[in-house]
């Protein structure tokens, strides 16, 4: 079997949302492990794990169980999306047009842009606080700007630089994480009452599972953006397992570190607990090195958020101007605009950011779960990966049309069905209240939407001819 010769891929990425030609495909499945492992070992992952023992009030053992369950389950969905990239060679939100139609996908894309900006801002705040904690000469605001600038530079250079950055971080951040655990457990030590701190409660336990699962699910709208350059022969199974193991392991241990720090901080403080400051105090005299490396992880994660946010923003523009296929210059301008928006949010909201962050996570759960169910059912069970990629770029949606009302209706139904089961600081549904505030909305959403969409699509949908890849002529025209 012959393979297309591989072209030299420029260091400054010139592609944005267009399909990646076969001769520009490169890399191996192991690259997916390093990008997800290295980019997840950062301050915000640690803070998120700390929610289990601080905000949710769990003891250390139930906190760890909840973190493990959430990541192991949520990672399955994340990795199933990643495996789509080598097959189709396009960004995830472009592929979403195959389920929702060219204009129907806009709602999802806009929501995902908001998600990217929100995560970018959250990363900036936690990273800025970490930099200020280890470098007294740097204020939180200055730290926010520094991390943001590094993220923008990586985004401008694009795919190759982000992957290379994550490979280095996989080693550096992994060693820093080991040192942090070793220092806290062996040198700082655990008090005799450590396991007696906190308690088990179903609200906190389910909240911990939900937040951990959402961490993985939140990658679903852009995980294939980082596998779309992989050669088509990479295979779905290698792409799945490399992404799954990298993201789950890279998230699991920082979250456990956060739960550990939260438990220790609660035992030593009668007031509110600040995870970043507590971590810095426990790691002395290694604080500058370890937390500094974790801050590099923040910049890597933010580069990924910004990069994919830009792709989604360009997807919105291309919907209304089908023949417009932007390049590196346009990506750079869009990156700077989104950077300014996210920095403004971070500077404005940083004083009450934990409250903002927890509510933001709840919002994401309700809007992402129906989309991921529809996308995975459509790709794996209905079309088996067979899509007309060239039709994703047509104004009328080609065989997928402007609006797929089966998918849109299923999405709306999935969002609404979660409301009675939701429990947030803003609203608690009647069924969640009847269960003592336990939020199982995302589980209900998955269980309802997946079969609903499958059955409705089989009954009312029309499956197009299998033509998954654009012809060479079309590829040349698009690129």
pLDDT recorded at residue 319: 85
Whether the pLDDT of residue 36 is over 80: the answer is: yes
Distance CA 327, CA 323 (A): 13
Structure tokens at 289: 């090195």
DSSP string over 213-281: HHHHHTTTTTGGGGTTTS-GGG-HHHHHHHHHHHHHHHHHHHHHHHHHHHHHHHHH-SS---HHHHHHH
**187: Cα within 13 Å, side-chain hemisphere:** 12
- C-beta separation of 290 from 444 below 8 A: no
Most confident of the following: 184-198, 239-253, 380-394, 465-479: 239-253
Torsion (CA) 271, 118, 447, 384 in degrees, nearest 10: -150
**Pairwise CA distance, residues 260 & 194, whole Å:** 9
> In this structure, is the dihedral angle defined by the CA atoms of residues 354, 359, 362 and 364, taken in order, positive or negative?
negative
- Average pLDDT on 3-8 reads 49
467 pLDDT higher than 60? no
- The pLDDT value given to residue 157: 82
What pLDDT is recorded for position 63?
A: 96
| The model's pTM | 0.85
Tell me whether residue 178 is exposed, middle or buried, using C-beta atoms within 10 angstroms of its C-beta: 0 to 12, 13 to 18, 19 or more. exposed
Please tell me which residue, 423 or 62, carries the higher pLDDT value.
62
Q: What would the pLDDT profile of 250-266 be if each residue is shown by its tens digit?
A: 999 999 999 999 999 88
Cβ count within 10 A of residue 78: 25
Q: Which of 242-246, 288-292, 305-309, 339-343 has the highest mean pLDDT?
A: 242-246
Architecture of domain 23-349: Orthogonal Bundle (1.10)
Can you tell me the distance from the alpha carbon of 11 to that of 325, in angstroms, rounded to the nearest whole number?
A: 19
Give the residue carrying structure tokens 């949520």.
74
Query: Which range is least confidently modeled, 126-140, 215-229, 368-382?
Result: 126-140
Tell me how crowded residue 433 is: count the other CB atoms within 10 A of its CB: 12
d(CA 64, CA 252): 9
Domain limits of the chain?
23-349
Hey, is 437 helix, strand or coil? coil
User: Which two tokens mark 76?
Assistant: 């399955």
Residue 12 has a pLDDT of: 65
Cα–Cα distance between 328 and 332 in angstroms, integer?
A: 6
| Residue 132 burial (C-beta neighbours within 10 Å; 0-12, 13-18, 19+) | buried
């Amino acid at each position: 079997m012959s393979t297309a010769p591989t072209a030299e891929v420029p260091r400054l990425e010139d592609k944005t949302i267009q399909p990646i030609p076969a001769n520009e495909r490169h890399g191996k499945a192991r690259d997916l492990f390093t990008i997800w492992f290295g980019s997840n070992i950062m301050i915000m992952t640690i803070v998120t794990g700390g929610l289990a023992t601080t905000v949710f009030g769990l003891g250390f053992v139930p906190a760890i169980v909840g973190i493990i369950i959430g990541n192991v389950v949520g990672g399955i969905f994340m990795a199933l999306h990643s495996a789509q990239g080598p097959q189709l060679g396009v960004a995830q939100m472009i592929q979403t047009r195959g389920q929702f139609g060219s204009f129907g996908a806009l709602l999802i894309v806009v929501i995902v842009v908001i998600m990217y900006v929100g995560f970018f801002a959250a990363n900036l705040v936690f990273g800025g606080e970490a930099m200020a904690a280890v470098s007294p000469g740097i204020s939180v605001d200055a730290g926010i700007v520094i991390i943001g600038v590094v993220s923008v530079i990586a985004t401008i250079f694009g795919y190759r630089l982000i992957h290379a950055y994550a490979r280095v971080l996989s080693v550096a951040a992994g060693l820093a994480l080991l040192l942090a655990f070793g220092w806290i457990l062996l040198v700082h030590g655990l008090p005799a009452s450590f396991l007696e701190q906190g308690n088990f409660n179903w609200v906190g336990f389910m909240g911990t599972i939900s937040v951990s699962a959402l961490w993985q699910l939140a990658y679903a709208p852009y995980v294939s953006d980082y596998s779309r350059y992989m050669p088509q022969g990479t295979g779905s199974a290698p792409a799945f397992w490399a992404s799954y193991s990298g993201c789950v392991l890279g998230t699991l241990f920082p979250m456990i570190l956060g739960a550990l720090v939260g438990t220790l901080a609660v035992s030593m403080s009668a007031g509110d607990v600040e995870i970043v400051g507590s971590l810095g105090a426990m790691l002395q005299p290694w604080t500058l090195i370890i937390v500094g490396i974790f801050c590099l992880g923040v910049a890597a994660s933010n580069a990924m958020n910004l990069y994919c946010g830009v792709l989604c923003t360009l997807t919105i523009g291309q919907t209304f101007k089908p023949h417009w296929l932007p390049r590196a210059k346009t990506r750079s301008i869009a990156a700077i605009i989104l950077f300014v928006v996210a920095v403004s949010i971070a500077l404005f909201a940083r004083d009450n950011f934990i409250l903002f962050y927890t509510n933001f996570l709840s919002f994401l759960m309700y809007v992402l779960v129906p989309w991921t169910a529809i996308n995975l059912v459509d790709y794996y069970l209905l079309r088996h990966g067979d899509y007309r990629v060239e039709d994703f770029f047509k104004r009328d949606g080609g065989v997928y049309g402007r609006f797929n009302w089966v998918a849109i209706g299923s999405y709306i139904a999935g969002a609404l069905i979660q409301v009675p089961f939701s429990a947030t600081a803003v609203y608690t549904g009647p069924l969640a209240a009847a269960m003592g505030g336990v939020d199982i909305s995302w589980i209900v959403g998955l269980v309802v939407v997946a079969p609903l969409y499958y059955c409705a699509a089989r009954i009312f949908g029309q499956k197009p001819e299998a033509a998954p890849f654009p012809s060479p002529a079309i590829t040349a025209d698009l690129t």
